[in-house]
Amino acid sequence: MAARKGSDFAGLSVAIVTPFADGEVDYVRLREQLEFQIAAGTRCIVPVGTTGESPTLSHQEHDRVITEVIQCVAGRAKVMAGTGSNSTAEALRLTRRAADEGADATLQVAPYYNKPTQEGFYQHFRAVAEEVDIPVCVYNIPGRTCKEIEVGTIQRLAELPGITMVKEATGKLDQCSAIVGTTDLTVLSGDDSLTLPMMSVGAEGVVSVVGNLVPNVMIELVNAAAAGDFLTARQVHHRLFALCSNMLGLATNPIPVKAAMQMLGRDTGELRLPMTALEAPLADQLRETLFAFGLQETATT
């Protein structure tokens, strides 16, 4: 069977947080987090996506974070830069620059707020794919964008050489099955807790939030599923399930993951408004989940 477009991005990609200290991007801690991921064997780093609080970064910060990631990683992992926008012109500018800096691919979120038609989605992604030479991963997350990219639109996009991947975050296994069954795109799970079900029908990996905490365990899951060892994959899935659920269920991402990283001494936990810190009762629940997972040795109160 021929490899799918984008299959070189199979496995674990981690949507990293953007560390802040006293209101500014903390580039020292960013580099520490990148080294943590590389040491774990993470295949791809995804900066300034949803988890990276891209809506609150200035254009200058957005560009610099991508540059810092590319320079620090230095070819030791792939970099899929979050350069989407609800303005096609802005998405093009961000993507051109990321490509010029050496990004290996671009994560392109569905245009949000202005709610384009399906034809608008198609023309938007087509414009980006035809303008740059790096692979495009279409990011379908209607919970954030208020409108879904329909399977028919993704099928049309799959005919464009530059569109190679879909980050599928609709929460619909049928959507994943339809894309895998009718296109040659590589599908990546956009929800940690659905990674195993999606890989069981042909997805090839995940763009992960929980990978900020335990990339080695997520690698174990995706490797087992890719090898067809679903007994091991199920065991890892169930071990991870509560932690994955907390990351997206306690509060809006990245509030829980930043709180967890603070508890583990790996981040300040600082967020930018309008994002606010995890409320105390929920923080207690998160701490209990971390302890149950086995991370209590480094957690702090």
User: What is the spatial distance between Cα 6 and Cα 56, in angstroms, rounded to a whole number?
Assistant: 29
Phi-psi region for residue 11, left (φ > 0), alpha (ψ -120 to 50) or beta?
A: left
122 tagged catalytic: no
| Residue of 5, 78, 167, 258 with catalytic role | 167
**DSSP character string of 147-214:** S---HHHHHHHHTSTTEEEEEE-SS-HHHHHHHHHH--BEEEESSGGGHHHHHHTT--EEEESGGGT-
Q: Which two tokens stand for residue 279?
A: 């409320």
| Residue of 5, 139, 147, 258 with catalytic role | 139
Residues 150-161, buried b or exposed e (16+ Cβ, 10 A)?
ebebbebbbebe
Active site residues: 139, 167
